[in-house]
Structure 1
Amino acid sequence: MCSCQQHSGTANSTSAPKDAISFRVEDMTCGHCAGTIKKAIEGQLPGSAVTADPASKLVSVVGAADFSAIKSIVTGAGYTPSPDRVS
């Protein structure tokens, strides 16, 4: 997990498309964290598109339907995804 506060936010849109899997990552604190999560998911799930917003703590994934796989990837990257999806 990144503990820096110096990175500028790479905030993406906080509204997820209808077909997206969205969830919270409370320990995503900055743009660097968001980039790490985005890179991890897109790297392990080719064809997926990730938006991660450290201000709202929301991550949205389009193009991947296996929420448990996504949670495992985020955990492996050093972050703690919420146990439930955001509607």
Structure 2
Amino acid sequence: MNITESIKFNKLKEENEALKEQLEMAHYFNQNLGKELDKLKQQILYKEDFDVLAEMYYDYCLKDNSKYDKLLSKEGE
């Protein structure tokens, strides 16, 4: 290997290492986003969740159903 090829090889090797670091950072970023998404999914309220409450507290009455009507249904997933 001559000097020119050696310089090109070393430069490509450095670029490769930099790309590997970027890929690793992107991987960790995606993992963190996945964990955050899972936490947010656990916080979603569904209509069925309120049906259970209605059975437990029979005399509980919703005065304003506008927010309830906007809730997603588990069946719609």
TM-score above 0.5, yes or no = no
Q: TM-score, normalised by structure 1?
A: 0.22
Bigger fraction of residues in strand:
1
Q: TM-score, normalised by structure 2?
A: 0.24
